[in-house]
A = this chain, B = another copy of it.
Amino acid sequence: MPIDYKKELENTARNTIFVHDPDLLIKMIVRMVVSKARLTHASFFLFNKEKQGYQLMAAQGALLKKIPLGLVCIDKDDVLIRFFKEHKSNFIFGREALLIGEAKLALANTKLKAQARRQLAQVVYQMELLEAQVCIPSYFRDELLGLLLLGGKNSGRKFIDEELDFFVALNSNVAMAIRNAQLFKELQYELDRKHQLFIRTTVALAAAIEAKDHYTHGHTSRVANLSIEIAARMATKSRKDLDAKFLENLHISSLLHDIGKIGIPEYILNKRGPLTVGERNRIKEHPMIGVNILKSIKELEGAVAGVKYHHERFDGKGYPEGLKAEAIPLVASIITVADSFDAMSTDRPYHSALSKTEAINEIRNLKGKQFCPQVADVFLELCQEGKI
- B interface footprint on A149-170 (CB within 8 Å = 1, 0 otherwise): 0000000000000000000000
Residues of B within 8 A of A60 (CB): none
Q: Taking the complex as formed, is A222 at the interface, i.e. its CB lies under 8 A from any CB of chain B?
A: no
A205 contacts the other chain (CB 8 A): yes
Residue of B nearest to A175 (CB): B14
Q: In the complex, what's the smallest C-beta–C-beta distance from A282 to chain B, in angstroms?
A: 14
Whether a CB of chain B sits under 8 angstroms from the CB of A126 is no
Q: Which of B201, B262, B297 contacts A212 (CB 8 A)?
A: B262
Does A266 lie within 8 Å of B263, measured CB to CB?
A: no
Docked complex Cα distance between A204 and B292 (Å): 9
Number of identical protomers: 2
When A187-B191, A191-B191, A194-B191 are in contact, do A204 and B173 touch as well, CB less than 8 Å? no
Binary per-residue interface labels of chain A (193-205) against chain B in the complex, 1 for a CB within 8 Å, 0 otherwise: 1111110111011
In the complex, how many angstroms separate the beta carbon of A230 from the nearest chain B beta carbon?
A: 24
Instruction: Give CA–CA (A306, B298) in the complex, Å.
Output: 28
**Closest CB-CB distance, A285 to chain B, in whole Å?**
13
Contacts of A209 in B (CB 8 A): 205, 208-209, 262
Contacts A187-B187, A193-B299, A200-B297; A265 near B266 (Cβ below 8 A):
yes
A145 to nearest B CB, angstroms?
13
CA distance A90 to B206 in the complex (A): 61
A298 vs B204: C-alpha distance when bound (angstroms): 12
Check: A259 CB closer than 8 A to any chain B CB: yes
Q: Tell me the bound Cα distance from A194 to B191 in angstroms.
A: 7
Q: How far is the CA of A300 from the CA of B199 in the complex (A)?
A: 12
Which bracket fits the contact residues of A?
A: 35 or more
A293 within 8 A of B: yes
Is A211 interfacial (CB 8 A cutoff)? Answer: yes
Other than A201-B300, A205-B205, give 18 A-B pairs with Cβ distance below 8 A: A14-B172, A14-B173, A180-B180, A184-B184, A187-B191, A190-B191, A191-B194, A194-B195, A196-B299, A200-B296, A200-B297, A200-B298, A204-B293, A204-B294, A208-B262, A208-B293, A265-B266, A266-B266
Question: Please, could you name 12 A-B residue pairs with CB atoms under 8 Å apart, sorted by A?
Answer: A17-B17, A193-B299, A194-B194, A197-B299, A198-B198, A200-B300, A205-B206, A205-B259, A207-B293, A208-B209, A208-B293, A262-B262
List residues of A whose CB falls within 8 A of some B CB: 14, 17-18, 172-173, 176, 179-180, 183-184, 187-188, 190-191, 193-198, 200-202, 204-209, 211-212, 259, 262-263, 265-266, 293-294, 296-300
The 10 closest A-B pairs by CB, nearest first: A198-B198, A197-B299, A194-B194, A205-B205, A200-B297, A208-B262, A208-B293, A187-B187, A191-B191, A204-B293
